[in-house]
Amino acid sequence: MTSRRKFLQNTMLMGAGLSLPGALSAKDFGVFTRKVKASDQVNIGVIGCNGMGWSNMRAHLALPEVNCVAFADVDQSALDRRTEEVFKMRNMRPKQYTDYRKLLEDPDIDAVIIGTPDHWHCLNMVDAVAAGKDVYVEKPIANTIEECQIMVAAQERYGKVVQVGQWQRSGSQYAQAIDYVNSGKLGQIRLVKCWAYQGWMNPVPVVPNGTPPAGVDYDMWLGPAPKRPFNKNRFHFTFRWFWDYAGGLMTDWGVHEIDIALYAMGVTAPKSVMASGGKFAYPDDASETPDTLQTVYEYDGFNMLWEHATGIDGGNYGTTEGIAFIGNNATLVVNRGGWWVIPETKNKDGERVPLVEEVPHIKPEGNALGHHARNFVDAIKAQDHSMLNCAIQTGSIAAINAQMGNIAYKTGEKVFWDAEKNRFTSSKANDLMKAQYNNGWKVPKV
């Protein structure tokens, strides 16, 4: 770690007088890695490499000191496809595992990226830190509040570096917007709106159950989820719209936006939550989670509104997604495209005068996912959890709040949170906090 800290302080590329291209060929990579000592390289394995697991690994592969040395997946076709993609980029083929626990036994692996469905995250992460690996876990960190709390406890017990894939935390526009919110220029903030309108999302057609594709270990894919016949709607990507594995748009997009909202406002848990919505757009499709939802969170001094809708793009302030901080003086809007401030006005001598100066649209700088990967690798080198832009403790706050929204929706009640007892005042809501594991899998004990 001493050499790694030295590496961090004396950046290799600057010292060599080189600049890093956006994409490295195998030949280009060879030039760079010959400049990186073995002790300064970070070897990463990926658990779940089909979707975001691969997107995250690819972002890390833009860093010259990072190597992808192993994949674990229940789908052999995904393993083979990603292995060949790494070969094209780096002229080497990672090891393949069909059971992630075997990957964790590999002493050559320093860290893992977890890109499995949400219902697997807790088991994957706890096993990884127990095996001595640093972890980058995709959001939302888990599928229940209990699992979120277990994952935080596991990091604190084993002391490993654990970054959550809420990469908006590494975006320049969000940092700038949060600074503006904290400046007080907006005045008293009475309401924060968070939203995701996803026009690209079509109905999930009802299809009959079938047999798993060749090369897929479907029992392992289910893991702790309830035993069910294979249905392609519940498999790659669209698993997100089924309660057994995920929490719909509330947790998929919600954690990104809610994270920024709560961080800027300096709060962690609501006093109460109520939600209303349903399958209004596509009532007869195969999905279970609501395609339309409004959730109201009550915090001290302000409310937060989460809303989502599938099949339409007509979100707030003309945007498909974002966060709006609505104050007495002005409203600040921020999303992945940038941020801006819309002033309130008052009448002065017959004219409308802005209460604060308008801030025109300011675009983001660089690639936030790339910055997030850089932040994770730097923290690994320094073995300093405090350096992370979105540590597991941070990621758990957004995930727990999003789960609270789903719990309010499922109960059909306004639910109240008892912060001192770390539970709801409703037994029905408290039951929904718990993880229910099946098929012989056990909820991790930390």
Is 382 exposed, middle or buried (CB count within 10 Å of its CB: 0-12, 13-18, 19+)?
A: middle
All residues at 6 or more sequence positions from 427 whose CB lies less than 8 Å from its CB, including other chains? none
Question: Cα separation of 41 and 401, whole Å?
Answer: 37
In this structure, are 89 and 51 located in the same domain? yes
Q: Is the pLDDT of residue 5 over 50?
A: no
What are the tokens at 21?
A: 């291209």
Query: CATH number for the domain including 39?
Result: 3.40.50.720
Report the alpha-carbon distance of residue 422 to residue 37 in Å, rounded.
Answer: 47
Q: Into how many domains does the chain fold? A: 2
Residues 269, 417 within the same domain: yes
Give the number of other Cβ atoms within 10 Å of residue 20's Cβ: 13
How are beta strands 134-137 and 111-114 bridged, if at all?
parallel
Q: Are 133 and 163 in contact (CB under 8 A)?
A: no
Selected residue with higher pLDDT from 348 and 70: 70
Domain that holds residue 50: 2-169+370-395
Q: What is the mean pLDDT of the chain?
A: 93
- Asked if pLDDT for residue 34 goes beyond 80, the answer is no
Q: Does residue 198 share a domain with residue 131?
A: no
> Of 6 and 126, which is predicted with more confidence?
126
For 437, other C-beta atoms within 10 Å of its C-beta total 17
pLDDT digits 0-9 by tens, 123-181? 999 999 999 999 999 999 999 999 999 999 999 999 999 999 999 999 999 999 999 99
Whether residue 122 is found in the same domain as residue 184: no
**CB 46 within 8 Å of CB 72:** yes
- Is the pTM higher than 0.85? The answer reads yes
Residue 439 resides in a domain: no
Is it the case that residue 15 has pLDDT exceeding 80? no
| pLDDT given for residue 39 in this prediction | 74
pLDDT tens-digit readout, 390-405: 999 999 999 999 999 9
How is residue 26 written in tokens?
Answer: 């195998």
Give the pLDDT confidence of 394-434 residue by residue, as tens digits: 999 999 999 999 999 999 999 999 999 999 999 999 999 99
CATH code for the domain in which residue 421 is found: 3.30.360.10
- Please state the rounded mean pLDDT for residues 75-97: 97
pLDDT at 302 over 60: yes
Q: 6 pLDDT band (50/70/90 cuts)?
A: very low
Phi, psi of 371 (to 5 degrees): -65, -40
Q: 182 with 250, same domain?
A: yes
Q: Is residue 387 part of a domain?
A: yes
Residue 283 lies in a domain: yes
Residues 49 and 164 placed together within one structural domain of the fold: yes
Residues whose CB is less than 8 angstroms from the CB of residue 436 and which lie 6 or more positions away in sequence, other chains included: none
Please report the pLDDT score of residue 7 as a whole number.
Answer: 33
